[in-house]
A and B are shown apart, each in its own frame.
Chain A
Amino acid sequence: MMTVTEFRSLFQNGLSKQNAGLVQLLGLCPLLAISNTLVNALALGLATMLVMVFSSGAVSSVRNFVPHEIRIPVFVLIIAALVTVIDLVMHAYVHRLYLVLGIFIPLITTNCIVLARADAFASKNHPLHSMVDAFAMGLGLTLVLVVLGSMRELAGQGTLLSGINLVFGEEAKQFVLHVLPHYQGFLLAILPPGAFISLGLLIAAHNWNKARAEQRAHAAIPSPA
């Protein structure tokens, strides 16, 4: 079993210290490609989280049977098989959601954060710890995606939650927030450069925050007289 301290440190790692999007800069390809609206970003984040939890659990369960030298092919095999299974099951049973997420799910296989967590954490830890770690890492990535998606959608189209009707049906159209009515749109934010610029701003904000926290910690220690 795991202690509260372990649990907390896993979440601290995933959400801030080792955040996949802002610190490790892993899995940038889908991060930058899909974050043009809030709904897209959230959907990709949740799908990645789901895959990470399952693959970390699977990799961790078989870790004692996998010789070190073939661990990468075995992990890739496990992740690819799991992603395909999730893809098929979603296509069959939650078709509406699949239509939105469908193109992202195969992309997740190529997301190096999944393999990175499998190799760096799941292959050395107990399944429960690994799944919590994957969940925290996925949550951290999802949060970055959500902020990035909101920034780009707001700057690009002046709305939030556009496309939510694709997930929850036509009735959900009323939830689309037209934050800036009569907004002309800012194309740069929606196109790829907008993704790089927004992510740059986010990383800068994260580093600034970290530097400030460190400074405060230094200030708190009384200097030797």
Chain B
Amino acid sequence: MTPLFKAATRNALRTGVILFAFSVVATTLLVFTFNRTQPSIERSQQAAKLALLNQVLPHSLYDNDLLSSQRSVPPDSQLGTQKPSAMWVARRGDAISAVVLEAIAPDGYSGNIHLLIGIDINGGLTGVRVTSHRETPGLGDYIDRQKSPWVEQFVGKSLSLPASKLWGVARDGGAFDARAGATITPRAVVKAVRSALDYFARNRKAIVAPPPTGMTAPAQENPHDDSH
């Protein structure tokens, strides 16, 4: 071995060891921080989730632990879902008082609009929130509660109120107003909310009936149950 080769090998080994030492220190730091912060992060995530659920379902309507009532719902065209979605079942005493459904409006102006829809046991809407969307900022994004109170007009509506043919935006002769220049977005939301109400009406019996074996899907047995 030439001395030059020897020196190069030694140098490579040295830098390798140094790089390794830095990785060990950085990894240790990350593991330590992760372990210390994890419980706190989980708590705040749960609290944030519950706060979101309470926006579509007022706390006065239920007295159970809403987060642990989560069930899995198989994909359904009326919910616009391609994958199993979540449903939360609110109870008052022993009786089911309302549900919160996840739904997707697939026909927004740009991509899917994800919705959280609260429906009381009689089929009336307790609240609707857009949880994620990619609609044009400043134009179609008023469906977001942060931007405008537009989604509040769904509260109290049901399949019979307004009448079936009025379930649309004002421009199409419906009962829901929409801003001029951006009707594709609210049209998609109105359609998805109505469709979710239909879904609830169709599956109401199965949802209300106590699940026979713990956590089962309301419509049919779901092989990919990911509710836990």
Task: Please report which residues of chain B, range 139-173, place their CB below 8 angstroms from some CB of chain A when the two chains form the complex.
Answer: 139, 146
Q: Are A88 and B34 neighbours in the complex by a CB distance under 8 Å?
A: yes
Which of B11-19, B79-87, B199-207 contacts the other chain?
Answer: B11-19
Measured CA separation A23–B36 after assembly (Å): 41
Q: Are B33 and A185 neighbours in the complex by a CB distance under 8 Å?
A: no
B29: interface (CB < 8 Å)? yes
Task: Please report which residues of chain B, range 25-39, place their CB below 8 angstroms from some CB of chain A when the two chains form the complex.
Answer: 26, 29-30, 33-34, 36-38
B121-140: CB near A (< 8 Å → 1, else 0) gives 00000000000000011110
Which of B40-48, B61-69, B109-117, B190-198 contacts the other chain?
Answer: B40-48
Q: Are A85 and B33 neighbours in the complex by a CB distance under 8 Å?
A: yes
Measured CA separation A62–B44 after assembly (Å): 35
B23: interface (CB < 8 Å)? yes
Measured CA separation A157–B137 after assembly (Å): 10
The smallest beta-carbon distance between A151 and chain B, in angstroms, is 15
A88-B34, A191-B137 known; A93 vs B18 contact (CB < 8 Å): no
Provide the residues of chain A in CB contact with B34, threshold 8 Å: 88
Provide the residues of chain B in CB contact with A163, threshold 8 Å: 146
How many residues of B sit at the interface, in one of the four size bands? 20 to 34
Provide the residues of chain B in CB contact with A70, threshold 8 Å: 15, 18-19
Provide the residues of chain A in CB contact with B47, threshold 8 Å: 95
Q: Are B33 and A89 neighbours in the complex by a CB distance under 8 Å?
A: yes
Q: Are A187 and B18 neighbours in the complex by a CB distance under 8 Å?
A: no
Q: Are A65 and B41 neighbours in the complex by a CB distance under 8 Å?
A: no
A46: interface (CB < 8 Å)? no
Provide the residues of chain A in CB contact with B30, threshold 8 Å: 81, 84-85
Q: Are B22 and A92 neighbours in the complex by a CB distance under 8 Å?
A: no
**6 additional contacts, CB 8 Å, given A74-B18, A77-B26, A84-B33?**
A66-B22, A67-B18, A92-B41, A95-B47, A95-B48, A187-B136
Interface of chain A, main secondary structure: helix
Q: Are B44 and A91 neighbours in the complex by a CB distance under 8 Å?
A: yes
Measured CA separation A54–B146 after assembly (Å): 33
The smallest beta-carbon distance between A44 and chain B, in angstroms, is 17
Q: Are B22 and A77 neighbours in the complex by a CB distance under 8 Å?
A: yes
For B141, the closest partner residue in chain A by CB is A190
Q: Are B44 and A95 neighbours in the complex by a CB distance under 8 Å?
A: yes
Which of A77, A99, A185 has the largest number of chain B CB atoms within 10 A? A77
Provide the residues of chain A in CB contact with B48, threshold 8 Å: 95, 99
The smallest beta-carbon distance between A86 and chain B, in angstroms, is 9
Q: Are A93 and B40 neighbours in the complex by a CB distance under 8 Å?
A: yes
A78-106: CB near B (< 8 Å → 1, else 0) gives 10110011001101110100010000000
Q: Are A185 and B138 neighbours in the complex by a CB distance under 8 Å?
A: yes
A88-B37, A89-B37 known; A187 vs B138 contact (CB < 8 Å): yes
Provide the residues of chain B in CB contact with A191, threshold 8 Å: 137
Provide the residues of chain B in CB contact with A73, threshold 8 Å: 19
Measured CA separation A95–B15 after assembly (Å): 40
Q: Are A88 and B22 neighbours in the complex by a CB distance under 8 Å?
A: no
For A65, the closest partner residue in chain B by CB is B18
Contact of A66 among B18, B33, B38, B136 (CB under 8 A): B18
Provide the residues of chain A in CB contact with B23, threshold 8 Å: 77
The smallest beta-carbon distance between A203 and chain B, in angstroms, is 24
Measured CA separation A156–B139 after assembly (Å): 11
A157-B138, A187-B138 known; A85 vs B15 contact (CB < 8 Å): no
